[in-house]
Amino acid sequence: MQDMDAKYILRRPLGMFEKNQVAKQLTKGYASVTLTAELQHPPRPTNTTATNFYKQHLKSALLPLIQKHPMLRLSLLMADKPAARFVQLLHLQLDGLVIVTDQDRFWDQETQERIITEECQHEFDLFALKPLWRLRVSCHDDAADRCSITLSVQHVIADGLSTATLWKDILIYMNNSSGDMDSVNKVDGDTVSFSFDTSDDCEVPLPIEDRNGPKDTTITASDPMPADGWQGDFPAPEGETLDTVLHLAKVGDKAWTNLLRKAKMNSVSMHAVVYAAYLLSWMSVYPNQPVKTATAINCRTYCQPPIPDDELGIFFGRYECGWPLDKLDLLVNNSTGRSAFWNLANIYHNLIQENKLLTCQRSLLMGDSLPAYPDAYCDVWYNARKNFKMGRSGGLNISDLGRFNYSSGDDDLWKLEHLWFAQSVHFYATILAVNVVTANGTMHAAITWQRGSVLENKALRFIDLFISTLEKESSK
């Protein structure tokens, strides 16, 4: 029997990937991961406030969402202690899960960039026994039939693929419950408030180390990476604080369709296509410099049984690839007969395929090399300040969610227009990051860097080259 005064139920200790994500916030080097959907919907009634309208509709979607995904009920206990663990909250307040800002002209790109940046920068309180996710609705009376909703999560409960799962479910539940808009719309002057009862017993998914993954203690934890690779234009200042700079960019459906066709002709993935544009654009802005790149690898399929794609949690490894100058030179001056673009796409596609399993095997060794939490996990990031000349490990990082597996139907009242995947910078590590998701046939990219780490004109030139490279390759 539960204590009537209790606020939570004790759940399992944190796994190694989860400890790593909490450590990134404890060291003040990282905040949140986000997925933002721009939606079209029936106009808000004039006698209903924006806050009431959106909270009422989202309440109907969140009821089944929270029931389906136990990770959404969790908070942390003793987050900065060796005994850190999850706890299941017994109640979730709608007001704490949904915030509405009704003066946001989100259709203006600069405004949308500000909104997403603010949510990426949001730090969930790790010690307040509160949910580790939220939805921010951005809207304006000048567009009463549209809104932008940003899902923000603390990475400890969800990886990037999990955010896509959540948004797919939200869209399904919102459209399933919106058949009679009049019955859902709240027309009185009171703000919608609601408490979700989450006290029923639920099964919290196990961490990846307990999912029969491909752990192999005979391999090394990672390849040695060059310490003198590109680390930005300026060293990290003393007392640096998290300050994400974010820009959005798109490749339209016509160009993207052409790239899909060419990728098939060249037997490479679209991820490899995006990567080729990423690295070659960076090389144009920063010539004659070695660099390392990192890519998130989904490890779910390597566990036994495979972890379902729609299960929330952190189940990704990190594939790192070093590019010394001689290898970079060979990309451009190759003898394959291919252009530098398709040569690189082919090379990287093969590298990814060859190293997926190895990446997951190495990732599962993290707990062996970092036995003491939180100190050892935090020191991984603090040591970047001491071990690298610029105070950060540097390099490039691409996080690619691929194609968002949801298409709005003719009968849907809540229709997806655009989707943006983004996360805060990690200022102990990556310099220039690209986060990508494809929705409605359009590639959506969020490019981020820590303010002051690079020359802004160089970063902006990189973005222009990144998009123009993809568009040019699509039209050749």
Span 408-422, average pLDDT? 93
Whether the pLDDT of residue 166 is over 70: the answer is yes
Whether the pLDDT of residue 34 is over 80: the answer is yes
Distance CA 376, CA 383 (A): 10
Span 180-204, average pLDDT? 71
Quick one: 219 and 198 in the same domain? no
In this prediction, residue 185 has a pLDDT band, given cuts at 50, 70 and 90, of low
Whether 193 is covered by a domain: the verdict is: yes
Domain boundary among 186, 207, 228: 207
Lowest mean pLDDT among 71-80, 93-102, 188-197, 421-430: 188-197
Whether the pLDDT of residue 189 is over 70: the answer is no
Span 21-48, average pLDDT? 96
Quick one: 399 and 454 in the same domain? yes
Whether 1 is covered by a domain: the verdict is: no
Quick one: 183 and 281 in the same domain? no
CATH number of the domain at 438, please: 3.30.559.30
Quick one: 291 and 347 in the same domain? yes
For residue 227, what pLDDT is reported? 55
Whether 224 is covered by a domain: the verdict is: yes
Q: Which amino acid is at 289?
A: Q
**β-strands 432-439, 396-403 pairing:** parallel
Burial grade of 454 (CB within 10 A; 0-12, 13-18, 19 or more): buried
CATH number of the domain at 166, please: 3.30.559.10
In this prediction, residue 121 has a pLDDT band, given cuts at 50, 70 and 90, of very high
Segment 206-260, tens digit of pLDDT = 999 999 999 888 887 555 555 569 999 999 999 999 999 999 999 999 999 999 9
Quick one: 71 and 174 in the same domain? yes
Supply the mean pLDDT for the chain.
93
For residue 187, what pLDDT is reported? 45
Q: Is the dihedral of CA 88, 117, 114, 112 positive or negative?
A: negative
Is 403 or 476 the better-scoring residue by pLDDT? 403
For residue 181, what pLDDT is reported? 55
Whether 13 is covered by a domain: the verdict is: yes
Residue percentage of the chain with pLDDT more than 70: 93
For residue 178, what pLDDT is reported? 61
In this prediction, residue 334 has a pLDDT band, given cuts at 50, 70 and 90, of confident
Own/partner contacts of 453-459, CB < 8 Å, gap of 24 or more, are 453/232, 453/233, 453/234, 453/236, 453/390, 453/392, 453/427, 454/232, 454/233, 454/234, 455/233, 456/245, 458/233, 458/285, 458/286, 459/245, 459/432
**Which residues partner with 134 through β-bridges?**
152
Distance CA 426, CA 32 (A): 10
Distance CA 90, CA 310 (A): 23
Q: Which amino acid is at 76?
A: L
For residue 122, what pLDDT is reported? 98
Quick one: 133 and 102 in the same domain? yes
Quick one: 125 and 260 in the same domain? no
Quick one: 310 and 454 in the same domain? yes
Quick one: 225 and 324 in the same domain? yes
Distance CA 158, CA 70 (A): 11
Whether 412 is covered by a domain: the verdict is: no
Domain boundary among 175, 207, 239: 207
Whether 410 is covered by a domain: the verdict is: no
Domain tally, the chain: 2
Stretch (H or E) spanning 35: strand 33-40
Range of the domain at 370: 210-404+417-475
Burial grade of 83 (CB within 10 A; 0-12, 13-18, 19 or more): exposed
DSSP category for residue 194: -
Q: From the centroid of its chain, how far is CA 356? A: 19
Segment 131-149, tens digit of pLDDT = 999 999 999 999 999 999 9
Structure-block tokens of residue 181: 């808009």
Distance CA 90, CA 4 (A): 10
Segment 268-310, tens digit of pLDDT = 999 999 999 999 999 999 999 999 999 999 999 999 999 999 9
Percent helix, strand and coil across the chain, each to the nearest 5: 40, 20, 40
For residue 335, what pLDDT is reported? 64
Domain boundary among 207, 228, 263: 207
Span 261-268, average pLDDT? 97
Whether 3 is covered by a domain: the verdict is: no
Quick one: 187 and 265 in the same domain? no
CA distances from 422 to 2, 35, 138, 165 (A): 39, 6, 16, 15
In this prediction, residue 193 has a pLDDT band, given cuts at 50, 70 and 90, of confident
The 10 Å CB-count burial string (b at 16+, else e) for 204-227 is bbebbbebebebeeeeeebeeeee
In this prediction, residue 2 has a pLDDT band, given cuts at 50, 70 and 90, of very low
Whether 396 is covered by a domain: the verdict is: yes
Quick one: 110 and 61 in the same domain? yes
Quick one: 261 and 203 in the same domain? no
